[in-house]
Structures are given as structure tokens and as C-alpha cells.
């Protein structure tokens, strides 16, 4: 059985997918880009601003599912250029308490709407 997770606190999907799907004790969060959910504006161009918005979007989706970054077990980071690695990493690490999830970071040829960063996550559902 699966449960669809969507929140107005993160941008609406720009394609045929949901913000997240809960199944088998896990939450699978779709890749997020730097869209401000309040006005739908894309915040592209500055990797720092983009990364903070992406992390805010991820945080909102986790919160909707009753989770937070401490529940994240795996992330995937997609960059337009590996030259952004250090800046993204510096921001990303601020959202975790030192128990970092497994992760890969790759540079890709292109990302949706020509953004510089997209991040997806998998989180473990807490037993309550």
C-alpha cells in the first residue's frame, strides 16, 4: 500500500509525479529544484540561493509526512557543474546533525528548467 504526500509548502510537481510517496516504511521524495512555492517563481542562477530553496522544499515535504532530516537515509544530488560541489555541500550539511545519510553527487548534462541543483531523498518512516 502506498500513500501520496503533497503539501502547498513545496512547489507543485511540474510533471506526472508527486512530491513524495510513502511505501514499505519509507518515504521517497521526488527531486526538488529551486521553485518558491509561495509564488511559483524559479530562483535560478545563484547556486547558494538555489540550494537553500531546494532544502526548504525538501524540509516542507518531510514535515508533511511527519518527518525531518534526521529520518533521511539516502540523498541524490544532481549538479549542472561539479564546480558547485563545495557550495552545495556547505549548505546541505547544515540540515543534518552529523549523522549524514548515504549520498551520491553527480554532474549531469541538464536539469529541469536549466537549474544548477536538484536533490531527491529517501527517508525511513518512524515507528509510532
The domain segmentation of the chain, as residue ranges, is 2-124
Angle subtended by helix axes 85-92 and 47-64, to nearest 10: 40
Per-residue model confidence as pLDDT tens digits over 55-113: 999 999 999 999 999 999 999 999 999 999 999 999 999 999 989 999 999 999 999 89
Instruction: Give the number of other CB atoms < 10 A from CB of residue 64.
Output: 17
Cα–Cα dist 6/62, whole Å: 10
User: What is the reported pTM?
Assistant: 0.96
C-alpha grid cell, residue 17: 509525479
What's residue 128's pLDDT? 55
Query: What is the third-level CATH fold of 2-124?
Result: 60s Ribosomal Protein L30; Chain: A; (3.30.1330)
Amino acid at each position: 500500500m502506498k500513500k501520496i504526500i503533497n503539501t502547498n509548502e513545496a512547489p507543485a510537481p511540474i510533471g506526472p509525479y508527486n512530491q513524495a510517496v510513502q511505501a514499505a516504511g519509507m518515504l521517497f521524495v521526488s527531486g526538488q529544484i529551486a521553485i518558491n512555492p509561495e509564488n511559483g517563481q524559479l530562483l535560478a542562477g545563484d547556486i547558494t540561493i538555489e540550494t537553500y530553496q531546494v532544502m526548504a522544499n525538501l524540509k516542507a515535504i518531510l514535515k508533511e509526512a511527519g518527518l525531518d532530516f534526521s529520518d533521511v537515509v539516502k540523498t541524490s544530488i544532481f549538479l549542472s557543474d561539479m564546480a558547485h560541489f563545495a557550495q552545495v555541500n556547505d549548505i546541505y550539511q547544515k540540515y543534518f546533525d552529523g549523522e549524514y545519510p548515504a549520498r551520491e553527487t553527480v554532474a549531469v548534462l541538464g536539469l529541469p528548467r536549466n537549474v544548477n541543483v536538484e536533490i531527491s531523498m529517501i527517508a525511513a518512516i518512524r515507528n509510532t
